[in-house]
Structure 1
Amino acid sequence: MEFTWRDRSLFVLLATGSLIVMTGAVIAPILPEIIAQLHLDRTLAGYLVSTHYLTVALFSPILGLLADRFGQVKVLVISLVFYALFGMAGGLMNGFIPLLITRGLVGAASGGIAAASLGLLVKRYESAEARALAIAYVSSVLAIANIIYPISAGLLGLLGWRVAFWLYGLAIPFALLVIFVFEQPEKLTTSAQSLSSMGGDSQELKKVISNPLTWQLFLTLAFTAATAYGVVINLPIHLKATINSGTAINGIALASQAIGSALVSAFGVRKLARRLGLVPATALGFGIVALVLVAIPQFDRLYLFLSATILLGVGFGIVMPNIYTLLSNLTSLELQSTILAAGTGTNFLGQFFAPALFGFLLGDRPLYQVFYIAAIVPLLLGSLLMFTAKINVSKR
């Protein structure tokens, strides 16, 4: 019975967590229609796609702290309701500023979903191995959602760009599912108990935050996310210049990366981590990413590019869940939401600054060189993780 219960709750949490991807996936396919019908400046319109990255980054740690204080289920249900309301409200807007505000608000609600669902997920599994598997499932679902939600938004957009915003309404039945599955309410604490626990939690939180490895993992998440997002931005441009690809081919190439990530997250991450260890497995993932980035400029055939993007997805699919697992292992169950939400925040912050970072790295250089430059980032991140692990071992 316990296994069946957890299986059901796992499904619900994975479904709600997938909405994090929907936040940007809905608006990206319909952005040209929005620009045309609302007569928006193209440069400013780009912020409609990226603004939620910033608000997710800002609100994830705050809402994660609230989830640990007052209960993950409460924060998750409230965030889902506001996500639906703010998301669907975007389809009613007729100007840039009102639409931008709704984008920021839905990003904030998305931060609450990320914090509460991930924290609730890992707290339901006591062993580190079980938590690692659950996080790997999350990575797989997010990768698959990166395929499903943009396609769904594009199809609904054929009926009109405002119709695509109805997808955000999925958060309402998901909220009802959360209430139904987690039907036993979280116990309310008295004021004295709350103050007492807050003192212990604060000390534990200070201990985790003062750990240099925590900050290293946060920065690793940020730069990994920036690299992944930089590939999403620059790969279609490179394909267009190299093989004169159209939007369909570009979409297939990006989808193949998500497929590679989903497959390895579901079936390969735990085996690699068990055989090699978390840090060496993560370093291996970084090595795969760097190798593929160096190889991409050498290719001039579609099948080679598709092979590369699948392998690139495999690399990122190894790295991301392992980093979250390393973060999870640094803290007690009581602070899982707080720390993992902070990790999610740095992840989205990296994506937010990715265009500026890659614009700075690229400068006046030919586009293909950005892949060589980007390959340095995972090499450095993997090497630093291995170096830190060796130092920690030598201190024992």
Structure 2
Amino acid sequence: MKVKSIESNKWELKLTLLLVSSLTIMSVITISPALPQMAQVFSSVENAEFLVKLVLTLPALLIALFSPITGRLIDRHGRLRILWMALVLYALSGSAGYFLNNLYHILISRALLGMSVGMSMTIVITLIADYFEGIERQQFVGLQIAFMSLGGILFIGLGGILADAGWQYPFLIYLFSLVVLPLSIRYLYEPSTTQNSASGNAQAKAPSIIWLLFFNTMLMWVIFFLIPVQIPFHLKAIGIEKNSLIGAAIAMSTAFSALSSFSYAKLKSRFSFLAVFSIGYLLMAAGYICVALSNTYMVVLVGMMLSGLGMGMMIPNTNMWVMTIVPPQIRGKEMGKLTTFWFLGQFLSPVIIFPVLQIVSISSTFMLASGFLFLISVGFFVLSISKTGKALTP
């Protein structure tokens, strides 16, 4: 494929990358406001409440499984054709929930959706590393996460409104990928990296610190995913019945995540990678305390704001650190691993939290999570001021 000049269509290219990125967050949280209603509709199914929560998070497991496969494929065969196939599969599998009335069939369609996102997410992160360098990359990584968060606000809000009309309607939002497809064909190009990487990827190797980043990413998402999975049920428990208000609460976390991500480049110019993680975890801890102690809608909103601010700075911080230390020849493979740990955390969140909820309430679960987040924040702070931490940070 002929390589086009990035300068000739730069804003169109950037917008297309941002739109593809928005499909990732949309893939999971769009149907979150409909979960309580789905639990009622399928109440006759054994373990319905758990399976309905699995509808939300099952895509994350398939994303985790298919991301490393995608990473290896795009290092060998290029990025774009696999991306186009993923966008078509995204529309078909995502919208299938509108037409299906069997919970297990819906789970199968969600698994296929996860496969498509595993491909598209890995490719878009890799393309950002391919297309941009230095401060421009740092700025765009922050912009990407901010745009994803803003997309989350739109999609979760729209999902809440549509859920009030019927639990099936939010599934139609996934057809949006058919709008993104022609833009990706028109404005994205195959980077030269993929043409030269086959001969050098056997010798290239990422530094061992990357595994700390991978496992930290998984941990971040295990804890943060308490919000879309458990907040709808917590709000119902304190008397909030309207799905649109539930969607608005979750959207508040994504709104403040966008604000934080948009400011990431300025934050990173003042703090090290490790210090940013310490600040982010501390903000999340404060947010989860608010949720744990809340008995009104407004206090939950404050918790959503604080936790969103924390998560919003940590996602681009992780992506930027990985992009900085990974050799171009194995970029796709390592970005695939990052995507794997990202969504493995999302999938494992309800699996890990479910037995906890059999012992304590949702409020107590958020309290326990807050204490754990605080300890992690302290750990990153200590590491950031130590000689070891400074030696690890590029």
TM-score, with structure 2 as normaliser: 0.85
Return the match for 2:131 from 117, 124, 131: 124
Distance 1:279 1:273 in 2: 10
Shift of 1:265: 0.9
One-letter identity of the residue aligned with 1:21: I
Give the structure 1 partner of residue 114 of structure 2. 107
Q: Amino acid of the residue matched to residue 291 of structure 1?
A: A
Contact 1:67 1:74 survives alignment (8 Å): no
User: Structure 2 CA distance, aligned partners of 1:372 and 1:279?
Assistant: 24
Q: Structure 2 CA distance, aligned partners of 1:179 and 1:350? A: 31
CA distance in 2 between partners of 1:234 and 1:29 (Å): 11
Q: What is aligned with 2:277?
A: 282
Q: 1:244 aligns with which of 213, 226, 239?
A: 239
Matches within 5 A, 1:240-389: 240-241=236-237, 243-247=238-242, 248-266=244-262, 268-361=263-356, 364-389=359-384
- Residue 200 and residue 186 in structure 1: after superposition, are their counterparts in 2 closer, same or farther (change >3 A)? closer
User: CA separation in 1, counterparts of 2:60 and 2:179?
Assistant: 24
Segment drifting more, 82-91 vs 153-162: 153-162
1:64 aligns with 2:71: yes
Greater helix fraction, Structure 1 or Structure 2 = 1
Structure 1 residue 35 displacement after superposition: 6.5
Q: Over residues 191-242 of structure 1, what are the superposed CA-to-partner deviations in whole Å (9 max), with x where a residue is unaligned?
A: xx87xx43521332xx21xx4321111111111111111233344444455x
Q: Which amino acid aligns with 1:312?
A: S
Instruction: Provide the residue aligned with 1:214 in structure 2.
Output: 210
C-alpha contact 1:257 1:314 (8 A) present in aligned 2: yes
- Equivalence for 2:105: 98
Partners of 1:376 and 1:348 in 2: CA distance? 23
Question: Which residue identity is paired with 1:320?
Answer: I
Q: Match of 1:14?
A: 18
Query: Is structure 2 residue 386 aligned with structure 1 residue 393?
Result: no
Matched, 1:201 2:201: yes
Shifted more, 291-300 versus 154-163: the winner is: 154-163
CA separation of 1:106/1:304 partners in 2, compared to 1, >3 Å: closer, same or farther? Answer: closer
1:148, distance to aligned residue in structure 2 (A) = 1.6
**Cα contact 2:18–2:147 (8 A) shared by 1:** yes
Q: Find the counterpart in structure 2 of residue 75 from structure 1.
A: 82
* 2:95–2:175 CA contact under 8 A, matched in 1: yes
SS at match of 2:270: helix
Name which of structure 1's ranges 167-176 and 145-154 shifts more when overlaid on structure 2.
Answer: 145-154
**Residues 38, 94 of structure 1: 8 Å contact kept:** no
Q: Do the aligned partners of residues 163 and 302 (structure 1) sit closer, same or farther apart at CA in structure 2, a change above 3 Å counting? A: closer
What does the per-residue CA deviation read over 1:102-150, in whole Å, with 9 as the maximum and x for residues that have no partner?
Answer: 21111101111101111112211121x3222212112112212222223
Letter in 2 for 1:225: W
Which deviates more from structure 2 when the two are superposed, residues 86-95 or residues 217-226? Answer: 86-95
| Alpha-carbon spacing, 1:2–1:232, altered in 2? closer, same or farther (3 Å) | closer
Tell me, yes or no, if structure 1 residue 150 matches structure 2 residue 145. no
- More divergent stretch after superposition (40-49 vs 61-70): 40-49
SS at match of 1:212: coil
- C-alpha RMSD of the superposition: 3.1
For residues 225-282 of structure 1, the C-alpha deviation after alignment (integer angstroms, 9 at most, x for no partner) is: 11111233344444455x533334433322211111111111x211111012222122
Conserved in 2, the CA contact under 8 Å of 1:328 and 1:339? no
2:227 maps to which residue? 231
Code of the aligned partner of 1:130: E
User: Residues 145, 332 of structure 1: CA spacing in aligned structure 2 closer, same or farther, 3 A cutoff?
Assistant: same
Report the AA paired with residue 201 of structure 1. Answer: N
C-alpha contact 1:73 1:186 (8 A) present in aligned 2: no
Change (3 A) 1:28 1:264: closer
Q: 2:153, 2:252 within 8 Å by CA — same for their partners in 1? A: no
Contact 2:21 2:144 in 1 (8 A): yes
Q: Name the CA distance, whole Å, in 2 between partners of 1:139 and 1:81.
A: 23
Change (3 A) 1:141 1:224: same
Match of 2:176 among 163, 170, 174: 170
Return 5+ residue gaps in structure 1 as ranges. Answer: none
Larger mean Cα displacement after TM superposition, 42-51 or 25-34: 25-34
1:36 matched residue in structure 2: 41
Work out the CA distance in 2 between the residues paired with 1:304 and 1:90. 33
- Alignment-mate amino acid for residue 393 of structure 1: K
Using the TM superposition, give the Cα deviation of residue 159 of structure 1 relative to its aligned residue in structure 2, in angstroms.
6.7
Deviation per residue, 1:306-354 (Å, 9 max, x gap): 2232122111111121112111112023433322232122111111111
